[in-house]
Structure 1
């Protein structure tokens, strides 16, 4: 398959300070790649791809050509950044029409308006849209240009559930049209439920995340009904904070996430590293109503408020905490959860 974008041994330094560690990855037509990183690293990567920053080492090839030889590469890439401004005096239809004409796109304005769920708002001024509706409009602007490569920064940050579903449908539509999509986000949960091509980018470099696949049923142990009647075991879960070890009661824990082999307990007070593996914690916390919803996640079912179906094979659990945390639920675990919940 022809690579649309190829990043080869790319890095950026200023003096002795590393701004972007050495990374390599590629994106093919129809592929969605999500990179989980902080905003600074994401911004630097996007700027280098757009030719706005010159790398210290390495190369970025777009459609087989080095971006350094293509000064107008930004005219071939649709970009939607988190802090993009909007012409708020314009109406929704006027705004998208402007970008459609500028890019000489064959996509119709009404087609894109419907795709981002703003059909009933097309004659409304942008200033009167909600935050989530404005974000969907920004995604629509990236789509209507009809370029082969789309870059999205934090597409779902702070949007409502309806908008998240619409944005994901739009991303899938882009993939079906054989567009390549690169997404940067600071939320691993969103990344894992968007695609199987997920990478972690930090100061040490870029690492592909092993995404959960469906496990054979014969690999799972079937519990006898009598075990449900066993008394609950009193257990505290240790986490290290600086030089201290804190013991948490299981009900305090909202969910547990594995990052690069380290388990992190997520509570109202924040996130705390734990020395136990996810497998250990799964065994210890099963009696307290915790459920292994994904290879990288264990969730406290008492905290689950909603089960969201994105597609036939993509699900998330929304918790009742202040952040309304979204936890990926793998296809392999979905039927097991339905049995537990009596659905």
Structure 2
């Protein structure tokens, strides 16, 4: 029999390997669906080493799903601050509210009910239900898709090939713990079968892997060509009223929604920094300002674009009557620690802490 289809043997190899070599991760010490769900939400598009301290800090403050449901979105975003992709946090809060109100605080065990929760797609549902309840749902993340595309020698991850991969893992799950199989494949993908480097000699699937036999496993699947990301020049202003300054809260439907920031925005072609800042502040909050001293510039890269942000001290020309539909506050520097700000702003705070905050 072709080794690739000896499902019983392969499953045994995977489970044995996982038992010996699995990563010691904090969420793997629990079968609490809330904790597993939280870990999978945090791990979306974020590296494990980055997630671990956030996961521990979150559970220290919100040890149960009920605690999340009773917390304010602002407090949750503050804990999440710096982890990025803030919609994950807001959707998790909404989903916990639904679980508490509609499911008596019990995370749904039915796949189709679970994926209806905000922020829960097929991958999250499959990962949680397989790990917690050993339900046979392959959790097809990037790591697992790469491992199986090499194992089965699939050049493309077409819809058809993804279905073939899904069905193949389902066969393995008939002979072993679905949760362990998913996690074993995740670990192989992250530790051994990497995008640009496959350490085949370490892999329990080596003898059955068709891509290994080509001596070019890294060519499966065909790598995507990364497109260059745009860069935007941004100006922001710290508008002072005595010892307080103005901050605005971003619309929760937009990028970085729910976080606080200084007024400002993108520069237009032909504008000086001062001209752009005066225009943006007028448009955002109805204030006419004098632009004073430059504080500094920072660079920050997001997933789909980057910014070069320059910030200035500003004062209002006549009054501090705000005309905006956005929530706003006048705060003192000491209050920054209580509110969630984008990571780019924290780079600016570091400059201000060295220079001194006032004009």
| TM-score bin (small chain) | under 0.3
**Greater share of helix:** 2
**Greater share of strand:** 1
TM (normalized to structure 1)? Answer: 0.24
TM (normalized to structure 2)? Answer: 0.24
